[in-house]
Structure 1
Amino acid sequence: MASTGKKTRGRKKTPMKMIENKEDRLVTFSKRRLGIYKKISELSILCGTEILFIVFSPTAYRMVRTNKLVQHYNEVHSQMDAIKRKKRELVSAQQTSETNNTNHWWKTPIHQCNPRELDELYSRFSELAHLFHIAWCKKIANASSMPTSTYFGNGHHRREF
């Protein structure tokens, strides 16, 4: 078979500047990396030394970035799943509440409660009373510049300045 011509350009001097085309740059890196490893191995054998040579592939940065994006995606996906679960729970609770009007904690007949439920009701009412007290104090403080006096209903007053 006769040769129809050269298939490669042969060896020629490559200017030392960054290759602009990303794919060409990756191909060149892959090809030259093997040559560098071979030279390092030869140098180590000839000189009887141990050589540490670190090369970071341009694709390594992409892999790190991709891994971070995948991790971020997984976190967001988990948050969305949690939100969807919470929404289903709320819808279910709302539907249950609509079918049973006595389901509200403040509508529970006290005489039907066991001690644990009474303790829970007491805690909730105490918290509600505290929130009312805070809101009331703020309204009074905003309405006048006078010190506010709080009446607790049991003969005790508390002054706030």
Structure 2
Amino acid sequence: MDRMKKTKGRQKIPIARIEKESDCFATFSKRRLGVFRKASEISTLCNVDIGIIIYSPTGKPFSFFHPTMESVVGRVQNPNPRLVNDASRLLEAYTRNRVFQLNQMLDKLAGELEAEKERETQLDEVVKSQTGGGGQGWWGEPVDNFNKEQVEEFTGWLKHLQSELVKELEKRAS
């Protein structure tokens, strides 16, 4: 059965002024985040200082600075790094170190997330292999398909569950 596409998907749009005000606001919001993300990537990858100030169509300013606004503005005002005071250098070094640590933590968490996704895929494959590809476990099968041992095991599990529920109900009632 053919399924028709419901949307046009991603398309290249011509670079021209957006006349419709609501579209302009939506585009600004989406593109602003993309610009800041790219600025963050370039500052991390190339170890550069970067500062961006963007004014929205309504006149509200948005900014991104790395490592800090003071260090970027200070470098614009005084390009000679030898004339910067020690306190500014210490603050900048601390900020760079903190950003580096946070990026390492982010990379570590991304690796853990990837490992968990791989583990989930493996567990899904195990469930499929045990259920014959149907994706359901013993709870999805008719009781008629159980052998005597499975029925006894299931009955014991249900009795245990019932006793735990009764205990919880009594605990909440008192």
Shared fold (TM-score, shorter chain, > 0.5):
no
Which is higher, the Rg of structure 1 or of structure 2? 1
TM-score range, shorter chain: 0.3 to 0.5
Larger relative CO (CA 8 A, sep 6+): 1 or 2? 2
Q: What is the TM-score when the length of structure 2 is the normalising length?
A: 0.32
Q: Give the TM-score taking structure 1 as reference length.
A: 0.34
